[in-house]
Amino acid sequence: MRKFILFAATAAGLTATAACEPVEDAPPVQGADARGGETGATTKKARPPIGLAAKRTIAERSILSEGGALTCVKVTVANNAKKKVEINPLYFAITGTDSVKHDTGDALGEYEGQIATTDIAPGEKAKGVVCVKGKFVPKTVSMTNPLFSTAARAAVAS
């Protein structure tokens, strides 16, 4: 019986160790430009796997809009990786200058030009608008992957 308990405890420990992933740091904030994360610097730096650029915009209201203030950002996502990248408006969040992170899920269907739910192949780009409810000054936009860990972040240009 002791051998069984020892075996079960060892197996549980190995499973727990194998299942834990190291904690990832959030990716660095990319520059505020409209070219999918590329900057005009003369030095060559390694491009991030997912380029993200963001600029403030005013979105056109849809017929489903319930009214109220919206803060909107036009985003460009560039796939610099070797695998496809999944894009979904629910994968975005906007952080204001007050450091409050706002979820885009509440504003779905409120505006036209929403970024499409799609997959982009290596070298492709996707463009569209993401909005959140409320009026504030956006500072950064973050994009998560399907497992909801941060994949890219970008400063919002005015």
Give pLDDT tens digits for 47-72.
Answer: 889 999 999 999 999 998 888 999 99
Q: How many domains would you assign to the chain?
A: 1
Query: CA 92 to CA 47: how far, in whole Å?
Result: 20
Asked if residue 5 belongs to a domain, the reply is: no
Residue numbers of the domain that contains 86: 23-39+48-157
| Radius of gyration, alpha carbons of the chain | 20
Residue 18 in 3-state DSSP? helix
Asked if residue 8 belongs to a domain, the reply is: no
pLDDT more than 70, % of the chain: 74
Asked if residue 17 belongs to a domain, the reply is: no
Share of the chain residues as helix, strand and coil, in percent rounded to the nearest 5: 15, 40, 45
- Angle of CA points 71, 30, 77, to nearest 5°: 65
pLDDT more than 90, % of the chain: 61
Asked if residue 11 belongs to a domain, the reply is: no
Asked if residue 7 belongs to a domain, the reply is: no
Asked if residue 75 belongs to a domain, the reply is: yes
Across residues 97-102, what is the average pLDDT?
A: 95
Across residues 27-47, what is the average pLDDT?
A: 57
Model confidence band, residue 18 (pLDDT cutoffs 50, 70, 90): very low
Asked if residue 133 belongs to a domain, the reply is: yes
- Beta partners for residue 102, in sequence order: 94
Asked if residue 13 belongs to a domain, the reply is: no
Supply the CATH number for residue 121's domain.
2.60.40.1240
Residue 127 in 3-state DSSP? strand
Across residues 15-30, what is the average pLDDT?
A: 53
State the pTM of this model. 0.73
